[in-house]
């Protein structure tokens, strides 16, 4: 049997393998993103960048729970101008770099893209799904009208692929996904974190300074698999799966549910950066065992049942 093909393509963006670094994990500096790329990721996504600098919430911004982590970092970022400055002074031509953006209104997305677009960025991911920052994430991501305006106006400003990252914290994710597709999204990232909370029983206090945060890690995987499965039955654009992927078996499950690529975040806290090589090898061995030539050949196979 010949070596299986791990490469994938999403709206013209070619990746050597289907594993991407999820937004917000190690994505602050180009040097860290490069390190993750060198550790085996097929693409790396920056921390979500906004129009203006934000310091985010006070600590505690992260706390471990059974099966995952809860975070409320609060979209801290240096602002698009400082970020542009840093990117334009870095060597990024060989880096499969995706920039994640968040904003409060369509004009902010448009403005950010117009500043960044001349750089060798391969795609944008619009974070319309942060569960814990008022006015910036999920408020946009659960309002069909807002999604339509953001996606359309961003699309006018760039020819690069637009991924739209969706939240599970909505009553009907399929409906939202269709709105994004019809507004011009080139791919959907499913999903962001799940709104959640943790309380310390000694002090009676919520642990996160923001009280409510987003849950990530293995505990949310079945929710993400369900979302990918449901959405992939009703849209034509590619889906990038995300949520709790820690092993190669997890990644395979997402491909079978209908994802063309997957993102990895919290697993790095458990496994370190080796997680990329481990999952890659597991996918390769699985494809050989199942006599499949490429990752593409297993995308959506669970739909046949």
Partner 1 sequence: MVSNRPRITRVLDVIEESSTVRSLLFKDKLCSKAKPGQFIMVWIPGVDEIPMSISIMRDDQAGLTVRKVGEASTALFNMKVGSMIGIRGPYGNSFNPIIGKVMIVGAGTGLAPLMPLLEILTNKSASIDMIVGGKTMEEFIFMDKIKEILSKTESKIVVTTEDGSYGIKGLVTDAILPILKKKRFDMIYTCGPELMMKKVFEMAQEFNLPVQASLERVMKCGIGICGSCCIGKYNVCKDGPVFDSSKLKEVKDEFGLFRRDHSGKRVIF
Ligand X SMILES: Cc1cc2nc3c(=O)[nH]c(=O)nc-3n(C[C@H](O)[C@H](O)[C@H](O)COP(=O)(O)O)c2cc1C
Q: Is 269 in the site for partner 1 (CB under 8 A)?
A: yes
Instruction: Work out which of 131, 168, 244, 300 binds ligand X, going by CB under 6 A.
Output: 244
Instruction: Work out which of 153, 154, 169, 192 binds ligand X, going by CB under 6 A.
Output: 192
100 binds, among partner 1, ligand X, none (CB under 5 to 8 A by kind): ligand X
| Residue with Cβ nearer partner 1 (164 or 208) | 208
| Residue with Cβ nearer ligand X (4 or 245) | 245
Q: How far is CA 194 from CA 54, 72, 167, 242, 258, in A?
A: 22, 11, 8, 12, 20
| Residue with Cβ nearer ligand X (106 or 217) | 217
C-alpha–C-alpha distance, residues 52 and 59, integer Å: 21
Query: Considering the complex, what minimum distance in angstroms separates the CB of residue 164 from partner 1?
Result: 23
Query: Considering the complex, what minimum distance in angstroms separates the CB of residue 274 from ligand X?
Result: 15
What burial class does residue 184 get, using C-beta atoms within 10 Å of its C-beta: 0-12 exposed, 13-18 middle, 19+ buried? middle
What burial class does residue 204 get, using C-beta atoms within 10 Å of its C-beta: 0-12 exposed, 13-18 middle, 19+ buried? exposed
Number of other CB atoms surrounding residue 23 within 10 Å: 27
Site for ligand X in 107-136 (CB under 6 A): 127
Alpha carbon of residue 285 to chain centroid = 25
Q: Is 69 in the site for ligand X (CB under 6 A)?
A: yes
The radius of gyration of the chain from alpha carbons, rounded to an integer in Å, stands at 18
Backbone angles phi, psi at 276, to 5 degrees: -65, -50
C-alpha–C-alpha distance, residues 190 and 240, integer Å: 6
State the distance between the two ends of the chain, measured CA to CA, in whole angstroms.
27
Instruction: Using CB positions, name the residue nearest to ligand X.
Output: 24
C-alpha–C-alpha distance, residues 230 and 104, integer Å: 28
Q: Is 132 in the site for partner 1 (CB under 8 A)?
A: no
DSSP state letter for 2: P
Instruction: Work out which of 22, 80, 140, 173 binds ligand X, going by CB under 6 A.
Output: 22
What burial class does residue 117 get, using C-beta atoms within 10 Å of its C-beta: 0-12 exposed, 13-18 middle, 19+ buried? middle
Q: Which residues pair with 70 in a beta bridge?
A: 63, 215
| Residue with Cβ nearer ligand X (6 or 242) | 242
Q: Is 23 in the site for ligand X (CB under 6 A)?
A: yes
Q: Is 115 in the site for partner 1 (CB under 8 A)?
A: no
192 binds, among ligand X, partner 1, none (CB under 5 to 8 A by kind): ligand X
Q: Is 154 in the site for ligand X (CB under 6 A)?
A: no
Chain contacts with partner 1 (rule: CB under 8 A)? 24-29, 31-32, 34-35, 47, 53-56, 58-66, 69, 71, 73, 76-79, 82, 86, 198, 200, 202-203, 205, 207, 209, 265-266, 268-269, 272
Chain contacts with ligand X (rule: CB under 6 A)? 22-25, 47-48, 62, 69, 71, 73, 100, 127, 165, 192-193, 216-217, 220, 242-245, 264-267
């Amino acid at each position: 049997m010949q070596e299986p093909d791990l490469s994938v393509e999403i709206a013209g963006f070619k990746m050597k393998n289907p594993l991407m670094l999820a937004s917000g994990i190690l994505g602050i500096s180009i040097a860290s993103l490069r390190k993750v790329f060198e550790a085996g990721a097929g693409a790396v996504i920056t921390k979500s960048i906004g129009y203006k600098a934000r310091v985010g919430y006070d600590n505690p911004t992260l706390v471990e729970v059974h099966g995952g982590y809860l975070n409320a970092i609060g979209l801290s970022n240096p602002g698009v101008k400082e970020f542009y400055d840093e990117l334009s002074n870095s060597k990024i031509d060989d880096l499969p770099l995706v920039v994640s953006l968040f904003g409060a209104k369509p004009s902010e997305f448009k403005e950010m893209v117009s500043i960044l677009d001349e750089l060798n960025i391969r795609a944008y991911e619009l974070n319309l799904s942060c569960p814990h920052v008022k006015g910036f994430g999920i408020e946009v991501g659960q309002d069909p009208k807002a999604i339509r305006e953001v996606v359309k106006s961003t699309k006018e400003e760039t020819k690069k692929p637009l991924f739209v990252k969706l939240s599970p914290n909505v009553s009907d994710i399929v409906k939202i996904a269709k709105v994004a597709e019809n507004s011009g999204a080139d791919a959907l990232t499913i999903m962001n974190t799940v709104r959640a909370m943790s309380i310390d029983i000694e002090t009676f206090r919520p642990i996160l300074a923001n009280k409510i945060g987003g849950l990530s890690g293995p505990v949310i995987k079945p929710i993400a698999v369900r979302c990918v499965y449901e959405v992939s039955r009703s849209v034509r654009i590619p889906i990038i799966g995300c949520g709790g992927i820690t092993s190669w078996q997890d990644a395979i499950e997402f491909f079978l549910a209908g994802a063309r690529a997957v993102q990895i975040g919290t697993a790095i806290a458990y496994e370190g950066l080796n997680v990329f090589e481990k999952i890659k090898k597991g996918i390769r061995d699985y494809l050989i065992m199942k006599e499949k030539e490429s990752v593409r050949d297993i995308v959506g196979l669970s739909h046949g049942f």
